[in-house]
Structure 1
Amino acid sequence: MAQDADAQFRQIYQTEWAWRSGQAGISNAGEAQPNNGRLDNVDAKSQQQRQDYWQGVLKQLDRIKPAQLSAEDQINYAVYRAQIQNLLAAQQFKQWEMPFNSDSAFWSDIGYMLGADNLRTQADYQRYLQRLGEIPAYMDQQIDNMRAGLARGFTVPREVLDGRDVSIAAVAEQRDPTKSSFYEPFQKMPANIPAEDAKRLQAQASKVIAGQVVPAYGKLLTFFRTEYVPKARKTLAAESMPDGKAWYHQQIVEYTTLDLDPDAIHQIGLEQVAKIHAQMLETMQQTGFKGSFPEFLTFLRTDPQFYAKTPDELLMRSAWVAKQVDGQLGRYFGRLPRQRFAIVPVAPEIAPYYTSGRGGASAYLVNTYDLPSRPLYNVAALTLHESAPGHSLQLALAGEQQGQPAFRREGYISAYGEGWGLYSEYLGNEMGIYKTPYDRFGYLTYQMWRACRLVVDTGIHHLGWTRQQAIDYLTDNTALSAREIANEVDRYISWPGQALSYELGYLKILELRQKAEKALGERFDIRHFHDTILQIGSVPLPVLEKRVDKFIADGGPEPDFGCDCAAGKKAP
């Protein structure tokens, strides 16, 4: 019976994944994916076709009884069904009519979607040129979608749009096509491409960028400045938009994987803020500072000793923390990925409103713009979260697993991934990464920042907070700089629910660790626990909890990754 059910389920997800992989920009967490290097149609008709397709997939899943599946496919089913439900909900709420936020935008993701970093052969470059030629039609469809959003009041709030046209203008106003970001793959072409062919491809690139890409971005820039910004909604709350209460609830479910109401989340946030504030006061006293808490925050934000003098200094401090972590990983993990990450500055055209750092399997991005807003006491916590043992390690391990379906290897569930990132900051205490009271205060301000998100996100989108209320709350409770706070608040305003995933995911992982430690006693091995969390991959929090319960019931064994991973060095 299990074999028949497994086969039926496998047929459903393999067929759907093959279809999904041929679509452009479809994702599980609101971020663009490099799907086949394509820019597919995103017009209303195509969006309806996607909705109909996923509705059909959900009906097929309804005909399967999860209890009849094998143990592994029961996990796969729970993960996959949640993916399809979230993808379908995005279509039903017509989220494609608001295809950007203050943090991420379709026009900035196009190069990534076209696979600009993975061009190796003449055929790759020729295909890339063809895709560049699709940009004008793609832009026209996105503009039509945003007009439809404007017409029904489903837009990014006007209050967070100032300056968001800079990244469009960086392309639209570039008169030399060879200086365009789209030309970068042609600057240094592979040696296996003959020089004559390389010159021909470079000439074609200049022509298509100047004749098609730049005008398309120019059209988008005009629309953004003259139509979208003036007509964007004046409200902030997600719940104030059409069907807003239902949409905000769906955002909560997608990003937290939990069915919590906004008031309950707000209360959790208030409780965590009070708890962390007490720890911050204690750490402040350890620095020897004699003033009040607000005075201490002012001191941290203004004293030059806490800020890098050059971008290289900030990058090197980040690298130094990362190497210290490298020396500790073998004590906390049995399995380590083969892939390594680079430390890269954030691109200048997006840096002014980009977050302080962001990590992926191959790169840890560090924002070196406006150095007086990038305090060094936060670098340790930021690096732990974004690189290793945080996102870079977790995503690299996920990508190297061979025993899981592609929809799990390549999927990303925010509550799991961001919860793990925040838990990685917590591990910095045990690893000895926070060397001074100031480093520890930086860690606590990051903990406070994520707790405040529960209060601020629900405050804005459910309780009617203003932007200034949210800014004041973060200013009073964290040591984040004014620029960081403003950028973060704008992100929460324009990306409802995503900010909730960090703290709720972290609290669940920490709760599961404490549960395992208590149940297993001396049999508890921190490496086996961490490997178990990472081996299952990105899953909803209830699925993760069931896996840890099994880990406890089995006596805390070392998990089998079933992957081509490097075995980590064991602790002596």
Structure 2
Amino acid sequence: MNKKLGAVATTACVLLSLASVPAGAAPKPTAGATAAAATSADTRFKSIYTKEWKWRVTQRLARAEGERGVSPVLARVDAPAQEARRQYWEGILKELDTIRPAELSPAERVNFAVYRAQIAALLDAQRFREYEQPVNADSAFWTDVTFGARRPFTTADDYRNYLKQLAALPDYFEQETANMRAGLARGFTPPQVTLKGRDVALASIADARAPQDVVFYTPFKAMPASIPAAEQEAMRAQAVKLIREQVQPAYAKVLDFFRNEYVPKARTTLAAESMPGGKAYYQSKIVEFTTTDLTAEQIHAIGLSEMAKIRAEMHEVMKQVDFKGDLPAFLRFLRTDPQFYARTPKELLMHAAWTAKKFDAKADQYFGYLPRRRFAIIPVPDDQAPFYTAGRGGPGAYWVNTYNLPARALYSLPALTLHESAPGHAFQLPIAQEQKGVPPFRRAYISAFGEGWALYSERLGVEMGIYETPYEHFGMLSYQAWRASRLVVDTGIHAKDWTREQAQAYLMENTALAQHEVETEVDRYISWPGQALSYYLGQMAIQEARARAEKALGPKFDIRNFHDTVLQLGSVPLPVLQQRIDAFIADGGKSPYPKDS
């Protein structure tokens, strides 16, 4: 980390190193710890997380290790099931607090830090009854269920189980609607202004003329040849019947409720701190999404400090291209000049693919371990695209939003691609999944780590030579400013009474994002408190860890070994990352993988 950050950022570094690790969870065992004590503590801890994970699988909140295919049931989400989960996780946390982390073996101390933070976040969500708000400006339960229709089905059982899911969907929607009504009654909803137009995904299904035009029919359009033709036709007929008689009426019912009851009565305030238990609720989201104990005030100040540095870098790029105006004029130029925008969706997708292949050419220079899982580049579905982010990535897929092409700048696309595909999400997550010998809860995603890594990947593109023009370099800086701005905007909205217009103006003044993106992003931050804080604080932690390792190891520092060490962790709280890099330094910067791996 740059030493010129000032006192606020220095404080942040200290907190990133110390916060969120339970008392006594330092990586070194006490002097008197014995092998027998470690074995006993390990056994007790493993017993706790093993039984809890099995329970999580039975609740359909997780998939069993090695589980494949389609589940025939949907998870219960009604109030009694949610209260039972609160009580269960409360009991698990009490059991965990009987264990002294210092008595655990080194490997289990890492697992303990990850697991306890995970259980604490799950419990907080139940205590604040977050399930009473299963919708935000970014997504909702009615869009989440559609992703199952877009995954590949390979067996007849997959189709049979999927048909059972379709039959169960109306009851699931009833449960979620009841949750929304309970949240509405106590003022626990997204702000009304962020819900405008979010009924489009409901209407696209409820109002479809033919069941075959609905996304839920997608798996039946091309079925495996291993399923006899007669059985295929019977399944297709059953799907049509279920979509027409069960699924579409369920969507229509929620659509009517959303338009005529939920949105008109949703809260008109913006801040999370204005919600029931608001101040404590927002702090719980800060802890969850940053894995630190930083306050909103501290994060806001860090964001302002980082923005000043990024603006200085932006002015350097403006000098390189000999632009004569000021930053606002340069941003207007970038937002309006046709040279920076694709003319067709295919052109945008091709540019994304080109960047991804440029990374492939450099991958082995920066990473020793490469994931086996490849990824496809896929356009965001039309029913979700208008309010979706510019892109998303994960195992097997990089989704590129081709809606509203004048809002999708080509100069930002390389940074977006590095973030969402490789070496970002579609690279990091498969590596986490491929790790052997780790408990299943270690496969869970921790936003500060995952988003921090993806944002670090954007900066890494400078070293890798991915950005070929000053404009593409500026696109990366704009994305850096976008994430640093989130520290200012998220805390501004939820703790400092910022207005929606104030937040939009801040992003317009400090990034090259198009107006459309600024509007959708600000609504996302308003309705999803704390999540926006993950990115930049996570990147700062990784950059600080790398700078520390480079300084300590000198010529022994190998960038591939450092990256492999970070990614081998999977997804962990930021303090655990810092502790692992301490061990990496102490071990002389060696690769975490055996030589023959």
Smaller-chain TM-score bracket: over 0.9
Give per-residue Cα distances to partners, 1:164-209, cap 9 Å, x unaligned: 0001111111121111111101110011000000000000000011
Query: Aligned runs of 1:63-78 on 2, under 5 Å?
Result: 63-78=98-113
Query: Aligned runs of 1:147-546 on 2, under 5 Å?
Result: 147-409=181-443, 411-546=444-579
Contiguous gaps of at least 5 residues in structure 2: 1-36
TM-score (norm 1): 0.95
Q: Deviating runs (4+, > 6 A) in structure 1?
A: none
Name the SS for the 1:365 alignment partner: strand
**Are 1:25 and 1:34, in contact at CA under 8 Å, matched by a contact in 2?**
no
Per-residue deviation, 1:73: 0.6
**Are 1:252 and 1:500, in contact at CA under 8 Å, matched by a contact in 2?**
yes
Q: Is the aligned partner of 1:106 residue 2:141?
A: yes
Q: Is the aligned partner of 1:138 residue 2:172?
A: yes
Q: How much is the aligned-residue C-alpha RMSD, in angstroms?
A: 1.6
**Are 1:263 and 1:458, in contact at CA under 8 Å, matched by a contact in 2?**
yes
**Are 2:70 and 2:158, in contact at CA under 8 Å, matched by a contact in 1?**
no
**Are 1:132 and 1:209, in contact at CA under 8 Å, matched by a contact in 2?**
yes
Q: Is the aligned partner of 1:548 residue 2:581?
A: yes
**Are 2:203 and 2:252, in contact at CA under 8 Å, matched by a contact in 1?**
yes
2:59 alignment partner in structure 1 = 23
Give per-residue Cα distances to partners, 1:240-263, cap 9 Å, x unaligned: 011000000000000000001100
Give per-residue Cα distances to partners, 1:451-509, cap 9 Å, x unaligned: 10000000000000000000000000110000010010000000000000000000010
Q: 1:383 to 1:518 in 2, by over 3 A?
A: same
**Are 2:187 and 2:267, in contact at CA under 8 Å, matched by a contact in 1?**
yes
Q: 1:530 to 1:500 in 2, by over 3 A?
A: same
1:30 alignment partner in structure 2 = none
Give per-residue Cα distances to partners, 1:99-121, cap 9 Å, x unaligned: 11111211111133x57624222
Name the SS for the 1:315 alignment partner: helix
Q: Is the aligned partner of 1:4 residue 2:40?
A: yes
Name the SS for the 2:292 alignment partner: coil
**Are 1:21 and 1:36, in contact at CA under 8 Å, matched by a contact in 2?**
no
**Are 1:25 and 1:35, in contact at CA under 8 Å, matched by a contact in 2?**
no
Per-residue deviation, 1:326: 0.5
Name the SS for the 1:153 alignment partner: coil
Q: 1:267 to 1:86 in 2, by over 3 A?
A: same
1:225 counterpart letter in structure 2: R
TM-score (norm 2): 0.91
Identify the range of structure 1 (245-254 vs 397-406) with the bigger mean alpha-carbon deviation. Answer: 397-406
1:13 alignment partner in structure 2 = 49
Distance in 2, Cα, partners of 1:327 & 1:91? 46
Distance in 2, Cα, partners of 1:173 & 1:15? 45
**Are 1:22 and 1:36, in contact at CA under 8 Å, matched by a contact in 2?**
no
Give per-residue Cα distances to partners, 1:149-172, cap 9 Å, x unaligned: 111000010011111000111111
Give per-residue Cα distances to partners, 1:41-87, cap 9 Å, x unaligned: 21111110011111111111112221121110110011001110100
2:560 counterpart letter in structure 1: R
Q: 1:37 to 1:452 in 2, by over 3 A?
A: farther
Give per-residue Cα distances to partners, 1:506-529, cap 9 Å, x unaligned: 001000000000000000000000
2:15 alignment partner in structure 1 = none
Per-residue deviation, 1:40: 2.1
Name the SS for the 1:335 alignment partner: coil
